[in-house]
Amino acid sequence: MEPKIKIRDMNFYYGDNKALKDINMNIYEKKITAFIGPSGCGKSTFLRTLNRMNDFIEDTRVEGKITLDDIDIYSKDIDPVELRRKVGMVFQRPNPFPKTIYENIVYGLRKNGVNDKQILDEVVEDTLKSVALYDEVKDKIHKSALELSGGQQQRLCIARAIAMQPEVILMDEPTSALDPISTMKIEELLLDLKENYTIIIVTHSMQQAARISDETAFFLNGEVIEHGETKVIFSNPRDKRTEDYITGRFG
């Protein structure tokens, strides 16, 4: 199968600090790829290169090539705003807008000129159902999103991302601020979502990576040490450092 995203000889710099070194990776469609590795090894940085969120950080630089469906996302004719519509993102801390639940979900659609109330209502209901939030919030869809619990807020943020019908969803530790039950709900949700989306998730939880991902990449000091099928990585890692990290003997 053709990879959805291809990363070739990629380096990333914060000023003079080379945060990612010589990355080569294929990411496949309709699979969950997990990034694991110790703090500061460059997982978030890498994730942000895939939807060009690093563009907002002053004095940063990318070398090499990243393609989405064989189109170079750093080429001059690519509009990063357009790219981010295709490559959605969910953040570590839930960050709903200080608006109603409804307005949070339709924000992106309205922005793109979709104003038909019927369509918007439908999208709100569908996306809330697909993140398993509908029953919990159906009576307060027009209330502030900030009244939701952290776990509900995070599912709302996922709904907000899905409403844009992206092709790829990037998630940076989406459950690290949540309790075990909310975490479980989101994990189930991701397994459902991968039928339609390509998902990349950064996580500090080995169990989470093992439970939900098809592929796992282990990062260390800005390098990808090992990348392959999750089963293989967890049962039979090639590199000693990978083994040390996943068994908790690291550092």
Partner 1 sequence: MKKIDFKSKSGMQRNEKIVSSVLFLFGIISIFTTFGIVFSLFEETVLFFKEVSILDFLTGKEWTPLFEPARFGVLPLVFGTFLIVIFSSIISLPIGLGSAIYLSEYAPKKARKILKPILEILAGVPSIVYGYFALTTITPIIKSIFPDASVYNALSAGIAVGIMTIPMVSSLSEDAMMAVPNSLRQGAYGLGSTKFEVATKIVIPAAFSSIMASFILAISRAIGETMIVAMAAGSTPKMTLNPLESIQTMTGYIVQISLGDVPYGSIGYKTIFAVGTLLFTITFILNIISRTIVRKFRRVY
Q: Which residues bind ligand ATP (CB under 6 A)?
A: 14, 19, 37, 39-45, 57
How far CA 100 is from CA of 8, 96, 103, 126, 153, in Å, comes to: 42, 9, 5, 17, 12
- CB-nearer residue toward partner 1: 157 or 220: 157
Whole-number minimum distance, CB 165 to partner 1, in Å? 11
- CB-nearer residue toward ligand ATP: 95 or 236: 95
Contact 145, 137 (CB under 8 A): no
Contact 159, 127 (CB under 8 A): yes
Contact 11, 22 (CB under 8 A): yes
Whole-number minimum distance, CB 43 to Mg ion, in Å? 5
Whole-number minimum distance, CB 85 to partner 1, in Å? 3
> Which residue in 99, 204, 211, 241 binds partner 1 (CB under 8 A)?
99
Q: Is 98 in the site for partner 1 (CB under 8 A)?
A: yes
CA angle 217, 88, 209 (to 5 degrees): 30
> Which residue in 53, 133, 168, 210 binds partner 1 (CB under 8 A)?
53
In this structure, is the dihedral angle defined by the CA atoms of residues 126, 128, 131 and 137, taken in order, positive or negative? negative
Instruction: Using CB under 5 A, list all residues that contact Mg ion.
Output: 44
